[in-house]
Amino acid sequence: MSAHLLCEGRVVIVTGAGRGLGRAHALAYAAEGARVVVNDLGVGLDGTPGADSPALRVVEEIRAAGGEAVAHGGDIATTQGAASLVHTALSTYGRLDTLVNNAGFLRDRMLVNLDEEDWDAVMRVHLKGHFLPLKHAAAYWRAEAKAGRTPCARVVNTSSGAGLLGSVGQGNYSAAKAGIVGLTLVAAAEMGRYGVQVNAVAPAARTRMTERTFAQTMGPPEAGFDAMAPGNVSPLVVWLGSAGSGGVTGRVFEAEGGRITVMEGWRAGPSADRGARWTPSGAGDAVLKLLAEAEVPGAVYGA
């Protein structure tokens, strides 16, 4: 590997890396010199086990291109699976530098039809599946820092426009992806002292999870540039996971096609202070005046 590669020497974990965005990220990291732990449980869109091992296929792709990679097939939404994921990086390559949390699936329903099982399953894989790998990676990095070996560590979490604006028929997914933003902000604040930066991306790309949506809304790709190709998101994810992103933490970025947007989330807008308790009608009058001064929120997807 030549010295100019952005991630040369770094060890990178990518969860849900057997297909779609995760596969694109894993290949992009390897192309920039990283040694990659390719995690994928090999399940279907609804989270049920699949018959093959997509993680191994991605590892073979990376090795065929001259890179280094190892497969991990554990369930990262369990303590054992998340711990073994981090252990795989450490036992194989002796270190861990970057964690990309990407694994997920969909169980879409309108709220009145959304079963408790569908809620729990999506929360588990997206939100818990971000928390547990982050927890175990962070414990390693904190121990390194306390031993005097402060890491140059990076975490890239995967949110969604559904988590930022909402998406009709995706109450479980939207809530989980919004939760990931909150987790990102807390982790960035807590882990900065240990040399860890934590950011999130909200990608828009054609994957197994979104292919029907984008087929309906985007039409066929234009000649020369497929704006919905998963690989379009990976350059930002690779840079955020590299040493070159020093000083960037606690941020959310939207990535789609050739566009990168810094998302600006909840912050104080227009305010009114009466200096005493409001009456209900007085509070209502004040709110209507404040709303007239406030920015109009973005439209919920599918509304």
Active site residues: 160, 173, 177
- Helices 129-146/79-93 angle, 10° precision: 50
Question: Are the C-beta atoms of 97 and 12 separated by less than 8 Å?
Answer: yes
Side-chain-facing half-sphere of 164: CA atoms under 13 Å: 19
Cα–Cα distances in Å, from 97 out to 68, 191, 198, 231?
A: 15, 14, 12, 22
Q: How far is Cα of residue 56 from the mean position of the Cα atoms in its chain?
A: 22
Question: Are the C-beta atoms of 25 and 231 separated by less than 8 Å?
Answer: no
Cα–Cα distances in Å, from 291 out to 123, 179, 271, 284, 297?
A: 32, 26, 10, 11, 11
Q: How far is Cα of residue 24 from the mean position of the Cα atoms in its chain?
A: 13
Q: Which residues, including other chains, have CB under 8 Å from residue 277's CB and lie 6 or more apart?
A: none
